[in-house]
Chains A and B, each alone.
Chain A
Amino acid sequence: MSEDKLNDLIAQTPKTLTPAKDLWPNIEARLDVVDNAPQQGSWPKLMIACSMTLLAVIGLLNWQGLNINNNQDSTLIMLAQIHAQHLQQIEQLQQATATQTVALRAGDQQLKSALDPHSPWFGAIEELRQAAQLLYQALKNDPHDKQLLQLWLWTHSREIELLQQSQEQYLNGKIDLTPKPTNHI
């Protein structure tokens, strides 16, 4: 009996259903983002620049490794320079994110970028920043601790990676905003 009922229900199932709201405005806004994709070409360049700067800093640190122990003041100055340089890179990335976020927001309120406090990316990046801040304070007290230094530099590169991942997924219109795992130092 229920077999027949089920077969009848399957046969009667309509091929179409009407959504509760008009989906076109959101779709159209996302098409614009897709159309603007070539303008996002500056991102990879910026990321390459960030990575190269980090590599240069690591190289410089290795080169100066022998002298670090002899000159605490110059080490502290160098740490401050790395810190300032990193903040500048993050600011550039966030400015780019903010510009694109405004464009996307116009079309889809549900998408969240790394700049949105409700985004999971935001929490992950904030935690990383707090860790970096603690490491920086610890390094000021003990600038010759190489492991601390490596960990601090790793937090910088990871922060940039997370910003890049969030931006890429955001621009692709994907909702899977889960931060991807990365290799530890």
Chain B
Amino acid sequence: MTTKLSKDCESKVDEQLLVAQAQQGDKAAFQQLYLRHQGRVYALCYRLSGQSQLAEEIAQDCFVRLWQKLPLFRGDSQFTTWMHALVVRQALNSVKQHKSFWARFLPIEASQAQSSGKEHNYDGLDKLIVRLPERARIIFVLHAIEGYQHNEIAKLLNLAPGTSKAQYHRARNLLKEMLS
């Protein structure tokens, strides 16, 4: 137990050091932060976008944004908390931008074919949530997996909290149908 705690402390100190170095423009330090957090960021991007290729692009957007915003991190909260909030906002913006781009320039069939093509075989819930309608999926991911409250989701997505709740229940019902 003590060993685990001391390891956690060490990890936090390391991270603070990496953040401080990255804030000074040290790309090697930023790469270390990327290596630490890429799995978490990519998982969020994949679940919000529902497509692996798009998720890779959005994850890149998130890290570029993080690099740009890093000098604004003052250490008032934990770095991971600050980064997560930033990544969620950026990922939602990117999903919107990428979707509107493809929707505008590709026929619907081509866009769907592209999204359903080369997908990974992730297990469990990740296999199912990509089949949900976009809004229901985003709200489900933010509430059920990322732990956001409906009023927080409502603010993020600029909708009423009731809509967030309704979409969440819709997503749950659809998932239950898939499981039955």
Contacts and interface: CB of A to CB of B under 8 A. Distances in A.
A141 interface: no
Interface in A129-185: 173-178
Contacts, number: 103
B64 A18 contact: no
A174 B125 contact: no
Contacts of A35: 25
A27 interface: yes
Chain A binding site: helix, strand, loop or mixed by DSSP? Answer: loop
B63 A23 contact: yes
A14 B179 contact: no
Contact of A9 (B64, B68, B125): B125
A161 B60 CA distance: 28
B55 A6 contact: no
A1 B180 CA distance: 8
A119 to B, nearest CB: 10
A178 B43 contact: no
A31 B67 contact: yes
Contacts of B64: 27, 30-31, 34, 173
Interface string B52-83: 10011101110110011000000000000000
Assign chain B's interface to a size class: 35 or more
Given A28-B31, A174-B97, A175-B101, A9 B61 contact: no
Interface residues of A, number: 35
A5 to B, nearest CB: 5
A21 to B, nearest CB: 7
B4 interface: no
B135 interface: no
Nearest to A26: B60
B35 to A, nearest CB: 8
B2 interface: no
A9 B64 CA distance: 32
B43 A14 contact: yes
30 contacts: A6-B172, A13-B126, A13-B145, A14-B43, A17-B43, A17-B126, A18-B42, A19-B38, A19-B52, A19-B59, A23-B34, A24-B34, A24-B38, A27-B34, A27-B67, A30-B60, A30-B64, A31-B67, A35-B25, A110-B57, A120-B104, A173-B60, A174-B61, A175-B57, A175-B94, A176-B100, A177-B101, A178-B100, A178-B101, A178-B104
Question: Closest 5 A-B residue pairs measured CB to CB?
Answer: A16-B39, A17-B43, A176-B97, A2-B176, A2-B179
Interface of B: 25, 27, 30-31, 34-35, 38-40, 42-43, 46, 52, 55-57, 59-61, 63-64, 67-68, 94, 97-98, 100-101, 104-105, 120, 122, 124-126, 128, 144-145, 172, 175-177, 179-180
Given A13-B145, A173-B64, A175-B97, 17 more contacts: A6-B176, A9-B128, A10-B125, A12-B124, A13-B124, A16-B43, A19-B56, A21-B56, A23-B34, A23-B59, A23-B63, A30-B64, A110-B57, A175-B101, A176-B98, A176-B100, A178-B100
